Structure 1
Amino acid sequence: MTRPPPTDPIAQTSSEASAWNIANGLTVLRLLLVPVFAIALFHDGGHNDGARVVAAAIFFIASLTDRFDGEIARKRGLVTEFGKLADPIADKALVGTALIGLSILGDLAWWITIVMVVREVGVTLLRFWVIRHGVIAASRGGKIKTFVQSLAIWLYVLPLNGVWHTIAAVFMVAAVVLALVTGADYVARAIRLRSGVAVQT
C-alpha cells in the first residue's frame, strides 16, 4: 500500500502531544463557530443582507481553520487521537449546517443537500470502517471537491443576484459532480482495502 499524503489528519500517526494544543484549539473553534454561523444565516429569516455577509465571513474563517489545524498539527508533531476524531466531525458539522440551512431558507434545492450530506457522512464512516485494515487517505480529487464545495457554499451564503448567483450555481453543480465521482472512488478503495489489495492514492 502506498504511503498516504501527509496532509490528511486521519492518515497521521498520533503523537504523545497533549490534546490541549493550538491545532486542536482551531478544530474546537471551528465547532464553536457552527452555531454562530447558523444564527447569522437565519437572522431575520435569512433575508438580511448584512447578516448574510457576516455568515459568509464566519464560514470563511471556519473553513480557514480546517486548512491550518491539520497543517500545524503535522508540522509541530501535534497529531492526537482527539484531533483525528474531532477534525472530520467539525468539517461535517460546518458543511452540513450550511447546506441544510440554505435548503431550509429555500436558497438551495434539497436534493443537492441530501446528496452532499450523505456523501460527506458516508465517506467519513467508510474511512473509519476500514481503519483497522489501513487508511484511505484524502485523494487529490477529494481535496478539489472540498475546495469547490466550500467556494460554492460561500457564494450561496452571500446575498448575490444575477450573474453572480448563476456562477454560484455552476460551482455547486461542479461540487455535486465531484462529490459523486470521488465518493464512488472512496467506496472502491475501501472495498479493495478490506480485500487486502493495495490502495493507490
Structure 2
Amino acid sequence: MVAAAADGEAMNSANQLTLLRLLLAPLFVILLLYASPDRPFLRGAALAVFVAACLTDGLDGYLARRWNQKTTLGSYVDPLADKLLLTSGFVSLSFMGHLPPSMHIPAWVTIPVISRDVLILTGSLLIFILTGTLKAEPLFVGKLTTVSQMATLFLALLAAPLPLKTFFFAATVILTILSGVRYLQMGAQLAQASQK
C-alpha cells in the first residue's frame, strides 16, 4: 500500500513532463538525422521539438516548486533528461555533415560540454561508491550553464547570425568550464566528508 502511494507520488505532473523530455530527446535527434537538404521541413520540426523539450524543463521545475511535487525520482531524472537533450543536440549539430553550415556548432564548443557531463557522471558514480548515497543538488552556475546551452542550440537551429551565435558559443564554453570546476570542488568536499 505504501509502495503504491510512493509510486503514485513519483508519477506526478512534474515528473511526467520530465519523462516526456526524455522521450523528446531521441525524436529531436532522429528529425535532425533525416533533415536532408531536400527535406527542410524536418529541420523546422526538430526546432519545434527542441523548444517543446526546453519548455517542459522550465514547466516541470515550476510545478515541482508550486505544487510541492519534488521527489527523489525527479531530482535524478531531471538533470539526466537535460544532459541527454543537450549533449545529443551539441553532438548532432557539430558532427552531422548534411546539415547547413549556418546550423553548425564548432567542436571547441561541443567538446567542453561533453567533457563536463562525463566528469559529472563519473564523479557522481565515485561519490555513490564512496558514500552509498547520491545527492543531486544543482548549483546556480549549473542552472545558468543549462540555460546558456539551450540558448546556443536554439540559435544554431534557427541559423541565427554568426556574431550572435559566437557570443553564445563563448559564453557557453566559459560557463560550462566554470560549472564543471565548481561541481568538481563540491564532489571533492563530499568525498572528504565521507572519510571522516
With the shorter chain as reference, the TM-score category is 0.7 to 0.9
Q: Moved runs in structure 1, 4+ residues, more than 3 A? A: 46-50, 127-136
Bigger shift: residues 180-189 or 136-145? 136-145
Q: Match for 1:143: what amino acid?
A: K
For 2:168, which of 148, 168, 171 is the aligned residue? 171
Asked whether the 8 Å contact 1:136–1:189 carries over to 2, the reply is no
Tell me the C-alpha RMSD between the 2 structures. Answer: 2.6
Bigger shift: residues 180-189 or 70-79? 70-79
Bigger shift: residues 99-108 or 119-128? 119-128
- 1:103 aligns with 94
Q: How many residues align?
A: 180
| Partner secondary structure for residue 44 of structure 1 | coil
| Partner secondary structure for residue 18 of structure 1 | helix
- 1:151 aligns with 151
For 1:50, which of 30, 41, 44 is the aligned residue? 41
- 2:118 aligns with 121
Q: TM-score, normalised by structure 1?
A: 0.77
| Partner secondary structure for residue 193 of structure 2 | coil
Asked whether the 8 Å contact 1:53–1:159 carries over to 2, the reply is no
Q: Match for 2:182: what amino acid?
A: D
- Cα drift, residue 129 of structure 1: 4.0
Asked whether the 8 Å contact 2:145–2:172 carries over to 1, the reply is yes
Asked whether the 8 Å contact 1:49–1:159 carries over to 2, the reply is no
Asked whether the 8 Å contact 1:156–1:168 carries over to 2, the reply is yes
Distance 1:100 1:85, change over 3 A: same
For 2:26, which of 35, 55, 72 is the aligned residue? 35
- Cα drift, residue 27 of structure 1: 0.9
- 2:71 aligns with 80
- 1:4 aligns with none
- Do residues 112 (structure 1) and 109 (structure 2) align? yes
- Cα drift, residue 70 of structure 1: 2.6
- Do residues 69 (structure 1) and 53 (structure 2) align? no
In structure 1, list runs of 5 or more residues that go unmatched: 1-14
Distance 1:39 1:65, change over 3 A: same
Asked whether the 8 Å contact 2:29–2:92 carries over to 1, the reply is yes
Question: Which digits, 9 at most, give the CA deviation of each residue in 1:131-165, with x for residues without a partner?
Answer: 647746322222221111110111111234xxx13
